[in-house]
Homo-oligomer: A and B are copies of this chain.
Amino acid sequence: MNLSNPSTPLLTRLGISVPVIQAPMAGTSTPALAAAVSNAGGLGSLGMGATTVEGARAMILETRALTSKPFNVNLFVHAPATADAQREARWLAYLAPEFARFGAEPPTALREIYKSAADDDAMLAMLVEERPAVVSFHFGLPEPHIVKGLHDAGIVLLASATSLDEAMQIERAGIDAIVAQGIEAGGHRGVFDPRQPDEGLGTLALVRVLVRHTHLPVIAAGGIMDGAGIAAVLALGAQAAQLGTAFVASPESAADAAYRANIANPAARTTLITSISGRPARGIDNRLAELGRAPERPPFPDYPIAYDAGKALHAAAKAQGNHDYAPHWAGQAVRLSRAMPAAELVATLMREVAQAVS
């Protein structure tokens, strides 16, 4: 590949000119962010994991009003949660003193706040109607009829892998490309089964192994914040780079002031993985993360049941002006964050790619 002029079969397939995919980041991405990235030649993404079918449709329409370029709609396809009243009660009892700090009561019960799209025919029908150019899957793979339905509508499909085994499952499912998510990545790890041991493959090792041992195009994710990082993963044989944390500080993201301040704060830039949502996710260390890593904590409820409690606690704290319980997801290279409009960031990244290999 000519790294100074990276045009890859995948980019042609996706209908984009620049090997940059903005990570979906449910709750932080916006139609404005996705459209800005797509208009700049990359692939903007909408994170629908926490959204209803009609909410997802509205975001697609809003994005389409801002760009005629391709963009990506990301779905969570986790195995449905198993409710466990006893485990959930223990978890709420564990968090109760934290709620009390803010004069609040924990919820009396926890709900499965997100529906998995793995078998969601209403979501499928909406997507077939709206036909976004690209749909991506996180936390596993959907039922075969979802893959077939989206493919029949001409939609290109991506899925996240954190291991060679997951990548081979993606290949067998007929997905078009793999998002190789290394341990550096911020937010939720795409592991298919969080109960299985996780080797925690770094982006460099994972991308190279998947390029060598699968037949699908690979998109690298995790720790990539600038053009040098993009050039590096292209050298590994990735056909594009997916960046999340790099776009959090863009004015088009939905990040609140506290999240932006934390991303920009050198003292806050240690990240770690906890399962405070019920699934492993990397964020900036804070009181929420501390609750998730305390040795004496009870077992986590299933994802996303545990997240219902975490979100309630964050809301109680935020109402009192305390932001130390926010899920401020960020990757390991957050220190390299730059606050600039998304289009300017994409242009800067591509200048830097050229410099990195000149």
The residues of A with any CB-CB pair to B shorter than 8 Å are 2-3, 164, 182-184, 197, 199-206, 208-209, 211-213, 222-226, 228-229, 231-237, 270-272, 331-333, 335-336, 356-358
Contact = CB atoms under 8 A, between A and B. Distances in A.
A270 B184 CA distance: 19
Contacts of A201: 184, 332
B235 A222 contact: no
B199 A270 contact: yes
B333 A208 contact: yes
A335 B232 contact: no
A356 B231 CA distance: 11
18 contacts: A3-B3, A183-B183, A184-B201, A184-B202, A200-B200, A202-B204, A203-B203, A203-B204, A204-B223, A205-B331, A208-B225, A208-B228, A208-B232, A211-B228, A228-B235, A229-B236, A231-B236, A234-B235
Contact of A182 (B197, B202, B226): B202
Contact of A236 (B182, B208, B232): B232
Given A270-B199, A332-B199, A205 B223 contact: yes
Contact of A222 (B3, B202, B211, B272): B202
A197 B332 CA distance: 14
Nearest to A238: B232
A209 B333 contact: yes
A184 B184 CA distance: 11
A208 B336 contact: yes
A22 to B, nearest CB: 18
